[in-house]
């Protein structure tokens, strides 16, 4: 295999995250806050940053414009909603019993805004209405990273530029390293931590994630059959045949960079594939990639 094809194979992972939660609806990633002393925190060991609630507190008059007439100052007022901000306490919301408050986060106006997921039980309908009347957020202290745990389903594509076969139907493992073209569809479970920060010179904050995943793989591979990897020796001459690949992959992702280690078997879709030394033999594969 030439260098260009090998480099192309290394451009591997395109991952789209979807999630599940209290009520799976839009396939969003599920993040959650933890409960400590009646307050919800990003992590249990940090009690200095807790969830706050902004709620309506009636009406108030606010200056709309100033009119100057004959040297007299006349103020014109309008009635607007009045809001108060206070710590979000579990005891303030009837029926909120969960120790992990699930939802999604987004940085808006230098605050980490929290959008709760709706509860699916019929008896929680009043709680959902109560929660929908307010807005929720956490302050992001400057030069501080807030860590929020999450988990989700993910699916995407993965190529493995190198496969090492760990066993063989032949007497030896000669030629057990393969660099043939392959493409696999993967679906699995991902979990980890999302980190949010707000620097003094940033208009909007930034976020990134550290995560792990376990995935099921199924895909297609191109297998080159030769005299030195078939038993008995192939008499037809060198040929390439397709094969179905199945297996599992374990991955780690930091920011947009992902690394995967996978294991599985290949089953050629050809009558000539029955003589391939590595048919249905366990392999170990490696992949690197840049996520979207």
Residue 189: pLDDT band (50, 70, 90) is very high
Note whether 19 and 153 are within 8 A (CB): yes
Residue 164: pLDDT band (50, 70, 90) is very high
Residue 10's pLDDT is 38
Helix (H) or strand (E) holding 155: strand 145-158
Annotated domain spans of the chain: 3-19+151-290, 30-66+73-140
Q: What is the pTM of this model?
A: 0.75
Note whether 268 and 220 are within 8 A (CB): no
40 vs 49: CA distance, rounded Å: 9
Q: What is the mean pLDDT of the segment spanning 89-96?
A: 89
Q: What is the mean pLDDT of the segment spanning 198-215?
A: 87
Residue 16's pLDDT is 33
What integer best gives the mean pLDDT of the chain?
83
* Phi and psi at residue 132, to the nearest 5°: -70, -10
Residue 17's pLDDT is 31
Of 258, 253, 262, 252, give the one whose Cα is nearest residue 288: 258
224 vs 283: CA distance, rounded Å: 16
For 227-278, what is each residue's pLDDT tens digit?
888 888 877 788 999 999 999 999 999 988 889 999 999 999 998 899 999 9
Residue 9's pLDDT is 41
Q: What is the mean pLDDT of the segment spanning 42-61?
A: 84
Query: Is 220 a residue whose pLDDT tops 80?
Result: yes
Helix (H) or strand (E) holding 248: strand 239-254
The distance from CA 256 to its chain's CA centroid, rounded to whole angstroms, is 11
- Which token pair is 132? 């929908």
């Amino acid at each position: 295999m030439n260098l260009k094809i090998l480099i192309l194979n290394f451009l591997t992972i395109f991952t789209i995250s979807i999630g599940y939660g209290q009520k799976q609806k839009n396939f969003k990633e599920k993040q959650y806050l933890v409960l400590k002393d009646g307050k919800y925190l990003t992590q249990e060991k940090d009690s200095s940053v807790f969830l706050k609630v902004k709620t309506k507190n009636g009406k108030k008059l606010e200056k709309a414009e100033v009119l100057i007439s004959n040297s007299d100052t006349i103020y014109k007022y309008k009635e607007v909603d009045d809001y108060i901000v206070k710590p979000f306490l579990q005891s303030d919301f009837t029926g909120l019993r969960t120790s992990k408050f699930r939802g999604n986060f987004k940085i808006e106006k230098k605050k980490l805004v929290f959008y709760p997921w709706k509860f699916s039980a019929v008896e929680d309908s009043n709680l959902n209405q109560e929660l929908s009347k307010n807005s929720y957020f956490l302050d992001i202290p400057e030069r501080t990273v807030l860590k929020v745990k999450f988990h989700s389903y993910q699916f995407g594509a993965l190529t493995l530029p190198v496969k090492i076969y760990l066993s063989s139907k032949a007497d030896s493992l000669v030629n057990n390293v393969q660099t043939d073209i392959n493409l696999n569809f993967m679906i699995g479970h991902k979990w980890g931590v999302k980190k949010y920060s707000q620097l003094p010179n940033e208009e909007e904050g930034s976020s990134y994630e550290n995560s792990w995943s376990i995935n099921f793989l199924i895909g297609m591979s191109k297998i080159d059959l030769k005299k030195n990897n078939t038993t008995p020796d192939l008499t037809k001459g060198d040929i390439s045949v397709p094969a179905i690949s199945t297996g599992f992959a374990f991955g780690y992702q930091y920011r947009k960079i992902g690394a995967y280690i996978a294991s599985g078997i290949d089953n050629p879709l050809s009558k000539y594939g029955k003589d391939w030394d590595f048919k249905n033999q366990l392999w170990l594969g490696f992949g690197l990639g840049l996520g979207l």
